[in-house]
Amino acid sequence: VCRLLYLLQQETSSTELRTECAVVLGSLAMGTENNVKSLLDCHIIPALLQGLLSPDLKFIEACLRCLRTIFISPVTPEDLLYTDATVISHLMALLSRSRYTQEYICQIFSHCCKVRKTIHVLHATYHQTILFNHGAVQNIAHLLVSTSYKVRMQALKCFSVLAFENPQVSMTLVNVSVDGELLPQIFVKMLQRDKPIEMQLTSAKCLTSMCRAGAIRTDDPCIVLKTLPCLVRMCSKDRLLEERVEGAETLAYLIETDVELQRMASITDHLIVMLADYFKYPSSVSAITDIKRLDHDLKHAHELRQAAFKLYASLGANDEDIRKKIIETENMMDRIVNGLSESSIKVRLAAVRCLHSLSRSVQQLRTSFQDHAVWKPLMKVLQNAPNEILVVASSTLCNLLLEFSPSKEPILESGAIELLCSLTQSENLALRVNGIWALMNMAFQAEQKIKSDILRGLSTEQLFQLLSDSDVNVLMKTLGLLRNLLSTRPHIDHIMSTHGKQIMQAVTLILEGEHNIEVKEQTLCILANIADGTTAKELIMTNDDILQKIKYYMSHSNAKLQLAAMFCISNLIWNEEEGSQERQDKLRDMGIVDILHKLSQSSDPNLCDK
What pLDDT sits at residue 284?
A: 63
For residue 288, pLDDT beyond 70:
no
181 beta partners:
178
User: CA neighbours within 13 Å on the CB side: how many for 609?
Assistant: 6
Which residues make Cβ contacts (< 8 Å) with residue 437, sequence separation at least 6? Answer: 398, 477, 480
| Of residues 221 and 125, more confidently modeled | 221
Q: What is the mean pLDDT of the chain?
A: 91
∠ CA 184-111-192, nearest 5°, is 30
Whether residue 286 is predicted with pLDDT greater than 60 in this model: the reply is no
Domain ranges of the chain: 486-609
Q: For 181-200, how does the pLDDT look when each residue is reduced to its tens digit (9 = 90+)? A: 999 999 999 999 999 999 99
Tell how far CA 163 is from the center of its chain.
18
Beta-bridge partner residues of 178: 181
CA distances from 91 to 158, 168, 574 (A): 14, 22, 81
Distance (Å, rounded) from C-alpha 341 to C-alpha 351? 9
CB 467, CB 509: distance < 8 Å = yes
Contact 62, 35 (CB under 8 A): no
Rounded distance between C-alpha atoms, residue 184 and residue 202, angstroms: 13
Distance CA 401, CA 408 (A): 5
Residue bearing the bigger pLDDT, 487 or 261: 261
**In this predicted structure, what is the pLDDT of residue 18?**
96
Contacts of 199 (CB under 8 A, 6+ apart): 152, 153, 156, 190
Packing angle, helices 387-400 and 375-382, rounded to 10: 140
Residue 406 has pLDDT above 80, yes or no: no
CATH 1.25.10.10 fits 486-609, yes or no: yes
Residue 177 forms beta bridges with which residues? 182
pLDDT confidence of residue 576 = 86
Q: Give the residue-averaged pLDDT of 279-295.
A: 69
Q: From CA 426, how far away is CA 428, in angstroms rounded?
A: 5
Q: 402 falls in which pLDDT band (50, 70, 90)?
A: confident
Provide the pLDDT for residue 114. 62
Tell if the pTM clears 0.95, that is, is over it: no
Please confirm whether the linkage preceding 282 is cis (ω < 30° from 0).
yes
**Per-residue model confidence (pLDDT) at position 372:** 79
Contact criterion met (CB below 8 Å) for 249 and 311? yes
Rg for the chain, CA atoms, rounded: 32
pLDDT at 396 over 60: yes
Question: Phi/psi of residue 323, each to 5°?
Answer: -60, -40
Q: Is residue 362 over pLDDT 90?
A: no
CB contact set of 119 (below 8 Å; sequence gap of 6+): none
State the DSSP code for 288.
Answer: G
Q: What ranges in 533-591 are assigned the alpha helix state H?
A: 537-541, 544-554, 559-572, 580-589
